[in-house]
Amino acid sequence: MQMNSKDNNYNKMIDKFVTGKILVTRSSMPSYEEYCEEIRDIWDTRWLTNMGPKHKKLQEDLKNYLGVEKIDLLTNGHMALELTMQALGLTGEVITTPFTFASTTHAIVRNGLTPVFCDIDPDNFTIDTTKLEALITDKTSAIVPVHVYGNICNIEEIQRIADKHGLKVIYDAAHTFGETYKGRGIGSFGDVSCFSFHATKVFNTVEGGAVCFKDQAFGDKIYDLKNFGIHGPEIVESVGANAKMNEFCAAMGICNLRHVDEEIAKRKAVTERYHERLDGIEGVKLNRVSDDVKPNYAYLPAVFDEKVFGCGRDEVYSVLAEHNIFARKYFYPLTNTFECFAGKYDPNETPVALAVNKAVLTLPLYADLELEQVDRICDIIISCKK
């Protein structure tokens, strides 16, 4: 197929942007031929969406891979969170963490709920369960903890507190695809665990998400909410939205799931190289996942102690960018400091999260990152030390 001038100009722009740059992540994809083969029968059936064969296959494949009882697929991870809160009928206040992506907090607020922010553990960046119970009031209906960078929340203590106070637990598990905790799939904990299959994740469907659950009554509500409440050509039993995963995204997921273990193994090699080079450098603290966790090596956060290292996170970020290496201040800013919430929350009430978000930098990490590139990144970071 011959490209027109617009196509050529666009490709040149993309080449200019990508060439010579190391980005913080790079999407994993199957071969072009494998994906084309996977979608070939879509041209025969013309079944493009509405829970077609690809959707059903991916759903079953993921249920087995993740080790969960029940799963449903949605258009993205945010809708998984937002519709889960609706399906559970939450009211009043929801305790969560400000050290997360915007989606977690926005899902709470968009449901007319009030987020109550709990500080984080300084070692693994997940919600600090020692501060959790003091935040519970008679208005609290749920806890929404976030597994961060592949670090797992204190699941046992969260469940103990939730059971004591009759609260729902919804895990934002966007960072933990494929992980297990004490041999059990991470999606099997809490009332619901929500996953994101965004292009930047360890496993992606281009865009997509999932809810993992045990209660079929909840599953029925999620189905209604993601499909307009439709139960037949002439039957609409409830008010719902449109959050169905289409067949092309499901096909990408089917392909990527075949290779995800290989991708994780490559990420492990990259992570180990970072540790070889940066462990022992005073003022730099790299993330370490608990021994109880089978990790997915999704992220490599480094916390810079400016007093010890000699320069702060922002300076390291800028120096790397000068060398065409683009790390990410993740998570920064805290969600309780967003402009859209100006004056509503006091970030000083979560001092650990406030300190960490000013010091953490997630370094480039993806399956195809070459070890020589990791060495280059580490050399530049080490050269920043004063």
In terms of domains, do 223 and 301 share one?
A: no
Average pLDDT, integer, range 220-229: 97
In terms of domains, do 159 and 189 share one?
A: yes
Tokens of 373: 């590139």
Contact 358, 303 (CB under 8 A): no
230-259 residue pLDDT tens: 998 999 999 999 999 999 999 999 999 999
pLDDT of residue 1: 40
What are the DSSP calls for 271-285, one per residue?
HHHHHHHHTT-TTEE
Instruction: Provide the percentage of residues in the chain whose pLDDT is more than 90.
Output: 94
Whether residue 81 lies inside any domain: the answer is yes
pLDDT of residue 19: 59
91-119 residue pLDDT tens: 999 999 999 999 999 999 999 999 999 99
Q: State the DSSP H helix or E strand holding residue 263, giving kind and residue range, or none if neither.
A: helix 247-278
Residue 220: give the domain boundaries: 32-254
Pseudo-torsion of CA 14, 16, 22, 28, nearest 10°? Answer: 20
CA distance 24 to 317: 11
pLDDT of residue 6: 52
- Asked whether the predicted pLDDT for residue 2 surpasses 50, the reply is no
CATH number, domain containing residue 370: 3.90.1150.10
End-of-domain residue from the set 202, 224, 254: 254
Strand intervals (E) in 261-356:
284-286, 293-294, 301-304
- Asked whether the predicted pLDDT for residue 8 surpasses 70, the reply is no
- Asked whether the predicted pLDDT for residue 16 surpasses 50, the reply is no
Instruction: Provide the pLDDT confidence category of residue 4 given band limits of 50, 70 and 90.
Output: low
In terms of domains, do 101 and 234 share one?
A: yes
In terms of domains, do 106 and 231 share one?
A: yes
Average pLDDT, integer, range 52-65: 98
How far does the chain reach from its first CA to its final CA, in angstroms? 55
* pTM, rounded to two decimals: 0.94
What are the DSSP calls for 53-119, one per residue?
HHHHHHHHHHHHHHT-SEEEEES-HHHHHHHHHHHTT--SEEEE-SSS-HHHHHHHHHTT-EEEE--
Contact 300, 277 (CB under 8 A): no
Whether residue 129 lies inside any domain: the answer is yes
In terms of domains, do 236 and 336 share one?
A: no
